[in-house]
Structure 1
């Protein structure tokens, strides 16, 4: 994938101050109209949110599936992103998903269905009305 093919989709690049990012690296993005923000110096927790997302993505998905090409990777990542935001329980949200609140408790017997995603790698459960 070439940056020039999708450069207009991006406005911002957030990166740390590692020496592996040279001035040439920055020039490539600024030439595409992308603004570069550097994390604060000596702030080890500045990348915590990104590292948490990447860690979850790697442990829950990429360590368990073989990616065959770029198109397959994009499809798998899009499916996981939807799962992560709409279905996956998050401890910090009281087991709710970021884009969906927990349903109200029900005292009656309920029927639950399971939907398999990514060939059964991920299971999503939903209450049937």
Structure 2
């Protein structure tokens, strides 16, 4: 990623901070993000589910979740 100035740097860092604190798992927190309080409910259904990707910072970082 090519950073083009101070405003762009602040935008990139703010976007990554949101990803880091709300989505990215952390080993020392039992794979929970810092702002999560408990593990999501485990689903044991055998139906295939569609996986959705959200591109963060133009695809430099990706977040994945299952479609409802």
Larger radius of gyration: 1
The 5 A counterparts of 1:88-99 are 88-99=24-35
The match for 1:125 among 59, 64, 67 is 64
| Cα distance in 2 between the residues matched to 1:96 and 1:89 | 5
User: TM-score normalized by structure 2?
Assistant: 0.84
Question: Between Structure 1 and Structure 2, which shows a larger proportion of helix residues?
Answer: 1
1:102 aligns with 2:47: no
* Alignment size in residue pairs: 65
Unaligned runs of at least 5 residues, structure 1? 1-64
Deviation at 1:67, TM superposition (A): 1.0
User: TM-score normalized by structure 1?
Assistant: 0.47
1:112 aligns with 2:51: yes
Q: Which has the higher contact order (CA 8 A, sep 6+)?
A: 2
| Cα distance in 1 between the residues matched to 2:39 and 2:20 | 14
